[in-house]
Amino acid sequence: MRPAPDGAFTPVADVSPPHWLSQRGGTVNDASCLNRTSVYGVVRPRTDDQVREALVFARSHGLAVAVSGTQHSMGGQASFPGALILDMRDMNRVLVDEVASTVRVGAGATWRDVLEATHPKGLSVAAMPSIDVLSVGGTVSVNAHGADFRTGSLASTVRSIRLMLADGTVREIDRSNDPGLFRAVIGGYGLFGVILEVELDAVDNALYDVRERRVPTSSFADLFENELVPDDDYRMMYAHLSTSPRTFLDEAIVHTYRRVDDDGEPIPPLRQDQDSRVARLVLNLARHGGVAQRIKWAGERKVLPRFRALWSPATRPCAPRRPASSPATRRCTTTSACSGTG
Ligand SMILES: Cc1cc2nc3c(=O)[nH]c(=O)nc-3n(C[C@H](O)[C@H](O)[C@H](O)COP(=O)(O)OP(=O)(O)OC[C@H]3O[C@@H](n4cnc5c(N)ncnc54)[C@H](O)[C@@H]3O)c2cc1C
How far does residue 138's CA lie from ligand 1's centre (Å)?
4
Mutate to test the pocket of ligand 1, among 72, 79, 238 (most ligand atoms within 8 A of CB): 72
* Beta bridge partner(s), residue 251: 216
Nearest atom within ligand 1 for CA of residue 195:
42
Distance CA 105, CA 84 (A): 24
Digitized pLDDT (tens) for each residue of the chain, 342 residues in all: 544 444 444 445 556 778 899 999 999 999 999 999 999 999 999 999 999 999 999 999 999 999 999 999 999 999 999 999 999 999 999 999 999 999 999 999 999 999 999 999 999 998 999 899 999 999 999 999 999 999 999 999 999 999 999 999 999 999 999 999 999 999 999 999 999 999 999 999 989 999 999 999 999 999 999 999 999 999 999 999 998 888 999 999 999 999 998 777 788 888 776 677 877 888 888 888 778 888 888 888 877 766 655 433 322 333 332 222 222 334 555 443 333 333
The beta-strand segments (E) located in the chain are 23-24, 27-28, 37-38, 41-43, 65-68, 84-87, 94-97, 102-106, 123-125, 158-164, 170-174, 194-204, 207-216, 234-241, 251-260, 329-333
| Nearest protein CA to atom 38 of ligand 1, as residue | 138
Distance CA 35, CA 13 (A): 23
Confirm or reject CATH 3.40.50.300 for domain 23-89, answering yes or no.
Answer: no
How far does residue 237's CA lie from ligand 1's centre (Å)?
21
Give the residue range(s) of CATH 3.30.465.10 domains in the chain.
91-204
Closest to 120 (Cα-Cα) out of 278, 291, 266, 307: 266
Mutate to test the pocket of ligand 1, among 2, 89, 142, 189 (most ligand atoms within 8 A of CB): 142
Distance CA 163, CA 160 (A): 10
How far does residue 16's CA lie from ligand 1's centre (Å)?
32
Crossing angle of helices 277-286 and 290-298, in 10° steps, is 140
Nearest atom within ligand 1 for CA of residue 189:
49
How far does residue 118's CA lie from ligand 1's centre (Å)?
21
CATH number of 91-204: 3.30.465.10
Predicted TM-score of the model (pTM): 0.87
Give the residue range(s) of CATH 3.30.43.10 domains in the chain.
23-89
How far does residue 180's CA lie from ligand 1's centre (Å)?
22
DSSP 8-state symbol, 135: B
Half-sphere exposure in the Cβ direction for 15 (13 Å, CA): 16
| Nearest protein CA to atom 51 of ligand 1, as residue | 72
